Amino acid sequence: MNPSDPTPIPARLIAPDHIVFDCVYGSSKTALLRAAEEAGARGADGLSMLLYQGALSFSIWFNREAPIEAMRAALYAL
């Protein structure tokens, strides 16, 4: 999705007690996350998913614990 794409869920269906997770990662909020924010709901983008997928892959490939904080810092520095 691009930031200008419409939300896949009608904004009227998002309530303040909802938690909205959009798997898209990037530097811009998607329409879905903007709609969640406007409704007072909690929202998260796909950066945390990307981080933990990378950490798991690191652990598998190198047979040691991933340096999650270093990975997080590098990811958010992009």
Beta-carbon neighbour count of residue 20 at 10 Å? Answer: 19
| Amino acid (1-letter code) at residue 34 | R
Q: What is the pLDDT of residues 39-73, one digit of tens each?
A: 999 999 999 999 999 999 999 999 999 999 999 99
What is the reported pTM?
0.75
| Amino acid (1-letter code) at residue 35 | A
Residue 1 has pLDDT above 70, yes or no: no
